[in-house]
Amino acid sequence: MGLIVQKFGGTSVGSAEKIQNAANRAIAEKKQGHQVVVVVSAMGKSTDSLVSLAKQITAQPSKREMDMLLATGEQVTISLLSMALQEQGYDAVSYTGWQAGIRTEHVHGNARITDINTSAVEDQLSEGKIVVVAGFQGMTEEGQITTLGRGGSDTTAVALAAALKADKCDIYTDVPGVFTTDPRYVKSARKLSGISYDEMLELANLGAGVLHPRAVEFAKNYLVPLEVRSSTETEAGTLIEEEPSMEQNLIVRGIAFEDQITRVTVSGLANGLTTLSTIFTALAKRNINVDIIIQTAAGDNKTGISFSVKSEDTDNTVAVLDEYKDALKFDQIETESKLAKVSIVGSGMVSNPGVAAEMFAVLAKKNIQVKMVSTSEIKVSTVISENDMVKAVEALHDAFELSKQASVV
Ligand code: ADP
Ligand code: ASP
Ligand code: MG
């Protein structure tokens, strides 16, 4: 007998019928003799609907009230799924995040889980119940409701699996696994049988929405065996593990992309020792996440900086820089929006020089201008025009032969 944590995303619990289907998946594991915890998201697109409801009331809702509102979505699903299980004669109980002992830091809208007191869930499991837990939510030490950021139910599931020392965490979703790139955009994308924690972490951080990045972080840190699989088909999904045994060690494993990126360029900056720290400390204090940073030398003791931010942060970024105009003594700020970041990821890059060069050559051949670049041991990211994003991903997918079935080693 083992302990299995299952997670069902929004589409997979988007109707009464789909909730029945999720119940059947939980029952199938229970029938195998396992203890079962099920983590669920809000039904369908209901989180989006709650966000747009709030926007009809105010342009800038308080973050605390936003969490209060969004946390209701998952509570609808936990009660309905428990009812579906009870209807089929199984003992089930629904728990909110805080009832399940999920404690978070005091940050509204994007809180990190700090610890989990699993005793209540364990008591229910030992009584033979299927425990249904609301994803995406927790509570601070002071008793405030928080949410974990969009897509955060994955993190609830993996963190619970780690805390309960589960034998497995299955993420049921609307695609049959992790693909070489988003199969909604690239028809030739191929399902991977396995991928390493590190590669998955890069892909998730670089925009592959299939898993919440913090979920992968938890899985890597606690070595949680994780599988992403279809909620409607029974085929095996993708295993996320230390060393994927069923996949060849390809140079490029996958391609991630993200749109709505803006490049901010500040020119004619005084080239002082503290220039960089002044800019980026000010932005960090306002919670503005800066991604790629490029510094350019200019004559006359002047310097220039370009960096990328999410487009939604553009106005705030410019406002913060303007506040520091006297200290920074820059000439001007320029912004370019409608950009996208396209990244190739693969652990084989570490030992293969020339991957970035090949990427640039592929993009040049397609007449795609690269505006910014950033690399790490296992990824190369380029910032390009949003209009070229899908074309670039398709070209790179072809050039690195990602749709070819890798031979098993
Ligand atoms: P859920 O509601 O189940 O959490 P999500 O919409 O968050 O589902 O994640 C699944 C979606 O992730 C897929 O429908 C797909 O469009 C997208 N996706 C992005 N990159 C990938 C990838 N590399 N492999 C599979 N799916 C991907
Ligand atoms: N319901 C939340 C969202 O839509 C959390 C999740 O689905 O993982 O972002
Ligand atoms: Mg998701």
Arithmetic mean of pLDDT over the chain: 94
Q: Are 226 and 171 in contact (CB under 8 A)?
A: yes
Token pair, residue 250, equals 């390809």
| Degrees to nearest 5, angle at CA 246 with 245 and 248 | 90
Phi first, then psi: give them for residue 228, nearest 5 degrees.
-100, 125
- Among the bound ligands, name the one nearest to the CA of residue 157: 2
For a pocket test of ligand 2, which of 136, 146, 171, 172 has the largest count of ligand atoms closer than 8 A to its C-beta?
Answer: 136
pLDDT at residue 297 tops 70 = yes
For a pocket test of ligand 1, which of 7, 171, 175 has the largest count of ligand atoms closer than 8 A to its C-beta?
Answer: 175
Q: Are 254 and 195 in contact (CB under 8 A)?
A: yes
Residues 165, 222: Cα–Cα separation, whole Å = 9
Phi first, then psi: give them for residue 105, nearest 5 degrees.
-70, 165
Ligand 1 proximity of 138 Cβ (cutoff 6 Å): no
Ligand 1 atom at minimum distance from 177 CA? 25
C-alpha 270 – ligand 2 centre gap (Å): 44
Bridge-based pairing state of the strands 3-8 and 35-40? parallel
C-alpha 221 – ligand 2 centre gap (Å): 23
| CB-based burial label for 366 (10 Å; 0-12, 13-18, 19+) | middle
Predicted confidence (pLDDT) per residue in 333-390, tens digit: 999 999 999 999 998 888 788 999 999 999 999 999 999 999 999 999 999 999 999 9
- Among the bound ligands, name the one nearest to the CA of residue 110: 2
C-alpha 177 – ligand 1 centre gap (Å): 9
Which pLDDT score, from 0 to 100, does residue 409 have?
41
Domains of the chain: 3-241 (3.40.1160.10), 249-402 (3.30.2130.10)
- When pLDDT is averaged across residues 120-142 and rounded to a whole number, the result is 98
Provide the pLDDT confidence category of residue 243 given band limits of 50, 70 and 90. confident
Ligand 1 proximity of 208 Cβ (cutoff 6 Å): yes
For a pocket test of ligand 2, which of 38, 153, 171 has the largest count of ligand atoms closer than 8 A to its C-beta?
Answer: 153
What are the E-state strand segments in 248-326?
A: 254-270, 293-298, 302-310
C-alpha 153 – ligand 3 centre gap (Å): 7
- When pLDDT is averaged across residues 265-276 and rounded to a whole number, the result is 89
